[in-house]
Structure 1
């Protein structure tokens, strides 16, 4: 619910006040079935997720983003919303989603999701949804979600006297969402979603159609960072949200989002995430800074798991790529140390080549004195201040590189200890009719690879989808990386 307008003092009195307020407002739809995100990742980005491939969370944002799903995925999430209210009311939200690519018959991706939001056992809203996405024209993806929506209230002695509930304590309806997704370049993506396009009616004693919501977004990916900007419109209301995500060590993620609307709702969102093999967890925290008072924020925790041969192969390829990068980094550091050592030796030799004073001529000894060979003077070479400064700077650089090399070698040992990295990268069985893999060369991009393999640079999206689990942010590829060719 967007805003809690009543406070529950006691359970009985609170239910009475809540239901009277609902009846007086003629079941205003602004409080139910809002476009709030279901998973923790999207919530941490303030719901700016329309142009972000959302996996099994896609049904809540844009079903068309399912098109970039590379392997089956399941997500389970739970949220405690608006905790710390002075009336001790408890608002909880649960979500479950499953999504998988469809490779036969209707090629694309499909998903099933369930969501349930409850207020202190007094009120609940839930839905069951099925989603499907496919490519329709030149890389443009379209998706549709069909959902069964239900709104329910608790029956007690107070509601029994209210004529609003004379026809029952719950109402259900069928709803539909439509979405589009397009990635013109690996780093950019555009999304457009329409929610409740059939305006499902969930009123009890009077009509209460859900408003159509239009949501548009654009995202930009560069290396390990992602930025998304969304704008949502539902009737006279609008919401602008922006979210950012940064992934480091290809495992951990930091997220942040801001949202603001014309109904005085403003919030700041923070989140973290981690992926360990095929499993991942995400956490988000939302703090309203206006519009809702008396709360210390909302918390969401989500767990997801990818499975299937494609997911395992992608994880092994990613682990092998991590190991190769660590090895290349260590080799580069060793080469830098060797070059610096040669420079240090050259500076030392130049300092030693300073002209030395000629030894004094030997004095003639008396005939009666024993003859001894002349002693060579000891010459102590003092390098010039410039040479000494150069030697000290080069030595400092060498020591710093040695410390980095130790860290790189420790990282390599850690990566080698991972089961997925210890296994050799899976090799696709060669098909005599076509190539099934491609080894990235220096200067390659997904577009140039598609041009070389298929003769059509516009088919880079097919390679992107087949290798989504092993590519860098924005579809970045590395020399030596092995890509599967669909």
Structure 2
């Protein structure tokens, strides 16, 4: 008993031992009974002495009374201090309890409920803490766990628990959190709320000789329950600058056993902070915390400062200061497991001299398992409309106008837009060219137009597909990740009228017809096929393009096709032996066309000539700064062009004499021109007129 009294005297003489619990980041003092808080330190030293004594009947009455007094006072004071500040996640502990504006893992919801709406993925966090490790006879342990289910662009929900255990008492809470994510003024904002069910209790079996039926303290039971409400906010202010605000235990839940025990409430805490990652090696957080209580007649108001650093090979270190302790932490990240695995450690060293002398440090261990990150999808491309600009006629060019919109909240990268038709045999045909856009800003309306020349009159179905390169018609072949894909197409049923006739009249006497000639329009077919280094194989896109060549040649029986292959030093061949590769490329193009239309045999010729001194590129090398491989890509090609061997050029000129009295009502056109136009669908006639003063 003398040892017990001496230890108690030392403990009760400590002037600031009330701060010890908070220095471990596991407990905190209460408001009204500050002088009695010294008994908590007394309990830490003397608990074993009191409750491992012999039977109560073997002790004098004074010792029995002392035992009950010490147990009740010190135990209640400790429990009161524990549930005033029951601890946070391991990462936050290592950063000085800062980071209201920065979600680190699932346990961040203890600090700010809004964190559930901002962490990068689903996360399961668990931790174990040993508080006041160096104090003999003290066994204060804390375990916690939390799981956050994250839904991008919506928010998150979380379930959490925490239990702090001591030999004769415990303190536990179970929390349910909901957080929503919003976009306000193009900035991310999260709001969260947590409902906590608290319970604190004693284990009377640890009191030697204790009788529950006669103890007035526990006449209503050995447990006390209460409900607490917390709320938080996190907002992106500017670029990487974040603001966090949290109000914990707003209703100050009461866990007192008796009405006469005034220090049973959990005081409300308000904390706000800023987070701004300056560099991967320096990501600071600065918080200010206010608690609705006084310690040594001073209001609890503390700065909390922390900083993280991301090191190579998955190591993270952090340090912090909260006015009562110096903290440090370490995280080892393994990205190959699950969506990521964090192994955390934090160390808390108290600044209180007496606590430091007895080694009242705390150690915290944790692990977080991440799910696969679901990046929020904020792009949604919509095909709005498809409209002919005028009455559609067969055999002539008609303008088709399509509109699309990005209804999402973020801009998207480049994508293709394809216009296609269903012909009379039910086959999809691309109406070239396939449009390519560099991107689409949010809430943007974009208009595109195509020239379409239907081959015959009747009902045609047109379809515009957004983010589609047309390779797998009628399926979409896109690359933009969107909220929805079912709104990427729009169809239009178009009635095509028969081709009309035109009448050419000369309205002025001095009009002069200077020249008539025909031209062949190759647009929109691309006259180049590209190859991989050292290869003469065609990819799917090239075969589709050559299939269109075959169809066009079949509709123009007087047209012939010439093909010339080229090579580049990136092919790995010398100039003297490159002709074989050039010819193979030209032959590959020819064979692909003949495989679609065998009737074209005899109308396709290989026009290769080997000239090592001739440059192969069409790009000025002096203008290629970043990627000179573009020149090599351009060189590895086969070039195509259309010829009319029978009639290379037909020109007819007619002149009206100045002052001629009778203006001719018609002009005779060479029959060769008329026959050529009749036989070849894509041959056009251009009429140029002129006049002189």
Q: Give the alignment's TM-score, normalised by structure 2.
A: 0.43
| TM superposition shift of 1:452 | 6.0
Q: Does 1:252 align with 2:315?
A: yes
Does structure 1 retain, via aligned residues, the 8 Å contact 2:75–2:169? Answer: no
Q: Does 1:268 align with 2:326?
A: yes
- Aligned to 1:65, the other structure's residue is in SS state helix
Q: Counterpart in 2 of 1:209?
A: 265
Counting only pairs closer than 5 Å after superposition, residues 27-176 of structure 1 correspond to structure 2 as 27=76, 31-35=81-85, 37-86=87-136, 88-102=137-151, 107-119=154-166, 121-135=167-181, 138=184, 139-156=188-205, 157-158=209-210, 160=212, 162-176=215-229
Structure index of larger Rg: 2
Counting only pairs closer than 5 Å after superposition, residues 47-446 of structure 1 correspond to structure 2 as 47-86=97-136, 88-102=137-151, 107-119=154-166, 121-135=167-181, 138=184, 139-156=188-205, 157-158=209-210, 160=212, 162-206=215-259, 208-224=264-280, 225-235=282-292, 236-249=299-312, 251-260=314-323, 266-277=324-335, 278-290=340-352, 292-293=355-356, 294-308=358-372, 310=373
Structure 2 unaligned spans of 5+: 1-26, 30-39, 53-63, 293-298, 384-405, 415-438, 445-478, 484-693
CA 430–50 in structure 1, closer or farther in 2 if over 3 Å, else same: closer
Structure with higher RCO (Cα < 8 A, 6+ apart)? 1
| TM superposition shift of 1:250 | 6.5
- Aligned to 1:200, the other structure's residue is in SS state coil
| TM superposition shift of 1:142 | 1.2
Does structure 1 retain, via aligned residues, the 8 Å contact 2:118–2:190? Answer: no
- Aligned to 2:272, the other structure's residue is in SS state strand
Distance between the aligned counterparts of 2:211 and 2:236, measured in 1? 51
Distance between the aligned counterparts of 1:14 and 1:51, measured in 2? 45
Distance between the aligned counterparts of 1:275 and 1:110, measured in 2? 24
- Aligned to 1:32, the other structure's residue is in SS state helix
Does structure 1 retain, via aligned residues, the 8 Å contact 2:117–2:181? Answer: yes
| TM superposition shift of 1:19 | 6.7
CA 173–273 in structure 1, closer or farther in 2 if over 3 Å, else same: same
Does structure 2 retain, via aligned residues, the 8 Å contact 1:69–1:100? Answer: no
| TM superposition shift of 1:40 | 1.4
| TM superposition shift of 1:102 | 3.3
Distance between the aligned counterparts of 1:98 and 1:301, measured in 2? 17
| TM superposition shift of 1:173 | 0.9
Distance between the aligned counterparts of 2:367 and 2:251, measured in 1? 32
Q: Does 1:453 align with 2:441?
A: yes
Distance between the aligned counterparts of 1:74 and 1:438, measured in 2? 32
- Aligned to 1:199, the other structure's residue is in SS state coil
| TM superposition shift of 1:222 | 2.1
- Aligned to 2:233, the other structure's residue is in SS state strand
Deviations along 1:8-65, one digit per CA (max 9) or x if unpaired, are 4353615997973575589557502244543211110011121111331122100112
Deviations along 1:165-188, one digit per CA (max 9) or x if unpaired, are 221111011111011111112321
CA 300–11 in structure 1, closer or farther in 2 if over 3 Å, else same: same
CA 430–180 in structure 1, closer or farther in 2 if over 3 Å, else same: closer
Deviations along 1:89-134, one digit per CA (max 9) or x if unpaired, are 1111101110011369xx3111111111111x21111101011111
| TM superposition shift of 1:251 | 1.8
Does structure 1 retain, via aligned residues, the 8 Å contact 2:180–2:192? Answer: yes
Deviations along 1:293-338, one digit per CA (max 9) or x if unpaired, are 5225111111111114x36x89xxxxxxxxxxxxxxxxxxxxxxxx
Distance between the aligned counterparts of 1:301 and 1:245, measured in 2? 17
Deviations along 1:375-394, one digit per CA (max 9) or x if unpaired, are xxxxxxxxxxxxxxxxxxxx
Deviations along 1:401-426, one digit per CA (max 9) or x if unpaired, are xxxxxxxxxxxxxxxxxxxxxxxxxx
- Aligned to 1:5, the other structure's residue is in SS state helix
Does structure 2 retain, via aligned residues, the 8 Å contact 1:99–1:111? Answer: yes
Does structure 2 retain, via aligned residues, the 8 Å contact 1:54–1:66? Answer: no
Distance between the aligned counterparts of 1:210 and 1:196, measured in 2? 7
Distance between the aligned counterparts of 1:249 and 1:136, measured in 2? 34
Distance between the aligned counterparts of 1:305 and 1:55, measured in 2? 9
CA 257–12 in structure 1, closer or farther in 2 if over 3 Å, else same: same
CA RMSD in angstroms, aligned pairs only: 3.5
Distance between the aligned counterparts of 2:92 and 2:67, measured in 1? 30
Aligned residues: 328
Deviations along 1:231-260, one digit per CA (max 9) or x if unpaired, are 111123223211110002272111100111
Distance between the aligned counterparts of 1:301 and 1:439, measured in 2? 43
